[in-house]
Amino acid sequence: MTAPTRQHTDDRAELTALITTATTELVRQWQRLVTAQDTLLRTLERLRPGRGATTRINSYITSFNQQVGEFSRLTTALVNRWAAQDLPTAYRDGALRALRQANADINLFRWTADHQAAITALTATFYTDLVARIQEAVRRAQQFARAAQDATRDVTLGRNHAGIDAARLAADHPLSAVIYRDNSRHPVKDWANSALTYQGAVTANHGAINTARLDLDAQWMEVRDGDACGWVSHQDTDHADGTIRSIDDCAAYPVAHHGCVRQLIPRPDLTGQRGLVSGDPA
């Protein structure tokens, strides 16, 4: 077995396609919430006092909540598919890429108990993260529905002839954005692409790491990364690109940050060599 050919090419076309497809569909389903919110607000803006107003409002709110339920069903199904099919594909893609880069037989990869345990742990964590975000979106949509219904109360009772403040309701309940823990708002597309790219990259790199360890008996990996990317984080002064890292270090830092382009190439030719220190140049 010879040392890998060292190059900066990124052959992750299948992984990129998986991420792009899932991101597009997730954004499309999220748009269902935005459209339903816009429809409800436009409808309530036209509301005037009169007999049957309360019944009509309840009907409008029910229609909105039905769309929220459909959003929850379809996005959860998407996340199920991502965890059950796409992430295992990413893991296998990373494993096969690692074997090719090490000039090894790709038939060495099998879904052994060790590989199955690894992908199960990864998908469980990532599935939980995505479902939590969906549940948060549903909660916020339901909160908006209650606020919109409350805002119509004065209108139906004739105490507010100006109608609801639709712009304020939309601003207070932005269903087109994902809100992070620091209360910053991010477009759904940006969040989805960042989250799925991160999950896909981490999963693929763990496929490479575990294949190097389990199937090639490698102790070291060669790192390909952005020229300025650090090992632990993008700002880390310990630059990653072109270095040799231990298997354990690679498992600890399969990527440095969201959007990281790190690739990990097995170096079984270095197994057993003395004097190597993680971080040595390749």
Q: What is the pLDDT of residues 151-193, one digit of tens each?
A: 887 767 666 566 788 999 999 999 999 998 888 999 999 999 9
pLDDT reported for residue 152:
85
What are the strands of the beta sheet with 263-266, ordered from one edge? 263-266, 220-224, 243-246, 280-281
CA dihedral 46, 47, 48, 51 (to 10 degrees): 140
Query: How far is the C-alpha of 76 from the C-alpha of 97, rounded, in Å?
Result: 30
Is the Cβ–Cβ distance between 265 and 98 less than 8 Å? yes
Q: What is the pLDDT of residue 272?
A: 86
pLDDT above 50 (res 5): no
Confidence of residue 2 (pLDDT cuts 50, 70, 90): very low
Q: Residues 8-21, buried b or exposed e (16+ Cβ, 10 A)?
A: eeeebeebeebbee
Q: Amino acid identity of 47? A: L
Nearest to 149 by CA among 26, 264, 62: 62
Instruction: Copy the structure tokens of residue 159.
Output: 């105490």
> What distances in angstroms separate CA 158 from CA 111, 147, 154, 162, one per listed residue?
67, 18, 6, 10
Q: Look up residue 203 and give its two tokens.
A: 């999963």
Task: Give backbone dihedrals phi and psi of 202, rounded to 5 degrees, phi first.
Answer: -60, -45
| Largest pairwise CA distance in the chain | 87
Structural tokens at position 27: 């954004």
**Which tokens is 275 given?**
């004097």
The yes-or-no verdict on residue 51 having pLDDT over 60 is no
pLDDT in tens, 199-249: 999 999 999 999 999 999 999 999 999 988 999 998 888 899 999 999 999
Domain coordinates in residue numbering, the chain: 13-216, 218-282
280: β partners: 244
Q: Comparing 40-54, 117-131, 203-217, which segment has the lowest mean pLDDT?
A: 40-54
Question: Smallest Cα–Cα separation from 198: which of 265, 109, 133?
Answer: 133
**CA gap 22, 34 in Å, rounded:** 19
- To the nearest whole percent, how much of the chain has pLDDT over 70? 91
How large is the C-alpha radius of gyration of the chain? 25
Check residue 152 and report its DSSP letter: T
pTM of the model: 0.89
Distance CA 101, CA 116 (A): 22
